[in-house]
Structure 1
Amino acid sequence: MKALIAGAGRLGSQIAQVLAAAHNDVTLVDIDEGRVAELEGHLPVRLVEGDACEPALLEHAGAHTADLVLATTGRDEDNLVISLLAKRQFDVPRVAARVNEEENAWLFDRNWGVDTAIPAATPRVSLIEEATGATDTVALLRLSKAGVDVIETAITPRSRASGRALADIALPAGSVIATVIRAGEPTVPTPEMRLRPGDELLIVSHAATEQEIRAAFQ
């Protein structure tokens, strides 16, 4: 899948990390030159600096061949413009957009090119089906064509994985840790990294269930 994400804040960069870990072709766009420079070398994605509200920039970033566009900026008006351009001008099959202000939620519909609205209160986003009955470990994202789940789990002081190195944790077969979110920022996991309370992990798996992932960490 080819994904274009507009907005390299916490949400956008986390989704980029997850999609890239699931072997998707990801481009992340942000208007802030400093933010792009900060992420350079830390995410396995293509980074593009510029205003995603500009059709020429979206075309340069690959919107004309994207399977998925996500508008995750901090401004609702920008997310709506990006969504409309993606759907109407570039005919992107699937468009998701973040809703920052609850009172604007009614605008985020097909009239503005939005297939999936992402409420700001949602801590993570399911791009195809939203998780229900959320606990500390929830299935966030099902890439139905590839049969891939992305599962989130949070480390607490009572988690048996707290203080342990990633290399010492036995993951279910067909699973890999995509990213460790620490202090709000996605971090590339390394075998020697020791988990701390407050860490959030996103695990990409082709076969494991939520319960199996939970058992490995909790």
Structure 2
Amino acid sequence: MRALIAGAGRLGPQIAQVLAAARNDVTLVDVDEDRVAELDGHLPVRLLAGALTADLVVAATGEDEDNLVISLLATRQFTVPRVAARVNDAENTWLFDQSWGVDTAVPAATPLISLIEEATGATDTVALLRLSKAGVDVIETAITPESSAVGRTLAGIRLPTGAVIATVIRDGRPTVPAPEMRLQPGDELLIVSHAATEQEIHAAFQ
């Protein structure tokens, strides 16, 4: 599948990383040239725009107005078959429909894995994150300012049996989870687990 993701802020690079890992052809675009340059070489995706041959466009900027315009152009101008758009302000949800070219409206609070599944319309796109046949799941949890884990090192977090931190996503970038790394508000963690429940994982950090 060819996917174009608009918005290289916190969310866009995460979506790009997962879709690229699932062997999709991914392009990530942003109006901020400095941000694009910062990401260059850190993601297995193209950082140049081109919507004409995309099968999927994900409008993932932090501005609802931009996401609506991107969706409309993708549908009307480039006839992209599937468009998913992030809704940053819940009060604007009613706008995100077919009249603006949006097939799937995704609330900002939706977990990353669920968002990608909604955007692609097929759970097998992120099969690498749903390793059910091997009895393994990848669970996402976010660190908020109120989380008990803020300021603690990864080594100081007591995880449930059978759970391992796969990566920490900070400022939109996957980071190697070194034991001495201290967690900050806004960090998102992907935890691989073959036994622990999602509730147990969240409890360890909240």
Q: TM-score, normalised by structure 2?
A: 0.68
1:143 counterpart = 2:123: yes
Asked whether the equivalents of residues 165 and 177 of structure 2 are also in contact (C-alpha less than 8 Å), the reply is no
Q: 1:9 to 1:210 in 2, by over 3 A?
A: farther
Is residue 70 of structure 1 aligned with residue 70 of structure 2?
Answer: no
Whether the 8 Å CA contact 1:116–1:127 is kept in 2: the answer is no
- Aligned position for 2:71: 83
2:115 maps to which residue? Answer: 126
| Contact in 1 for aligned 2:104/2:118 (Cα 8 Å) | no
Q: 1:17 to 1:28 in 2, by over 3 A?
A: same
| Aligned sequence identity (%) | 62
> What do you get for the CA RMSD once the two structures are aligned?
3.9
Partner deviation per Cα, 1:70-127 (whole Å, 9 max, x = no partner): 1112322221121122223323232111123333211101121111112234353523
Corresponding residue number in structure 2 for 1:43: 43
The 5-angstrom pairing of residues 67-216 of structure 1 reads 67-122=55-110, 124=112, 126-129=115-118, 143-145=123-125, 147-149=127-129, 151-154=139-142, 163-164=154-155, 177=166, 179-182=167-170, 185-190=171-176, 192=178, 194-198=180-184, 199-202=187-190, 211=197
TM-score normalised by the chain length of structure 1: 0.64
User: Shift in Å at residue 27 of structure 1?
Assistant: 0.9
Instruction: For residue 102 of structure 2, give the secondary structure of its aligned residue in structure 1.
Output: coil
Distance 1:27 1:41 in 2: 13
Shift of 1:147: 3.1
Equivalence map 1:19-38=2 (5 Å): 19-38=19-38
Deviation digits for residues 55-80 of structure 1 (CA, Å, limit 9, x no counterpart): xxxxxx23222222111123222211
Instruction: Describe how 1:50-65 pairs up with structure 2 within 5 A.
Output: 61-65=49-53
Greater fraction of residues in strand: 1
* Matched residue count: 184
Amino acid at match of 2:38: E
The equivalent of 2:158 in structure 1 is none
Which ranges in structure 2 are unaligned for 5 or more consecutive residues?
130-137, 156-160
More helix per residue: 2
